[in-house]
Amino acid sequence: MIEGISHITFIVKDLILATKFFNQIFNAEEVYSSGDNTFSISREKFFVIGGQWIAIMEGKSLLTRTYNHIAFKIPETEFEIYESRIRQLGVEFKPSRPRIYGEGKSLYFYDFDNHLFEIHTGTLSQRLKRYKMK
């Protein structure tokens, strides 16, 4: 039986720059750094964000950008705080898709390795309820 998501791994070209990205935007708690040791396929770091284990491993950046992404849930009252953090880091925003009122607010942005992230204020139940009303 699946208990949940164990961890999410991102391949990044620069562990220091990726650490800055996760710390500045998400207040990630760094819980491990391999240094020059490689127990896996390359040097790596582990973080915890909202109780979720996030791993970054040194490697080649993605060559292309897609809409595949991970979305982190935040309270709507903190939307501007996160938007400011992202803007201060200077990463590129992706225009949000058209939304209907009641499904939550989102910010889409890329890291330095072409991974797409989303900050989202809504929940699945809110979205399903709103879609039923249309």
Active-site residue list: 44
| Element holding 110 (H helix, E strand) | strand 106-110
Which string of DSSP letters, residue by residue, matches 5-46? --EEEEEES-HHHHHHHHHHHH--EEEEE-TT--SSSS-EEE
CB 13 within 8 A of CB 115: no
Q: Compute the C-alpha angle 94/99/105, nearest 5°.
A: 70
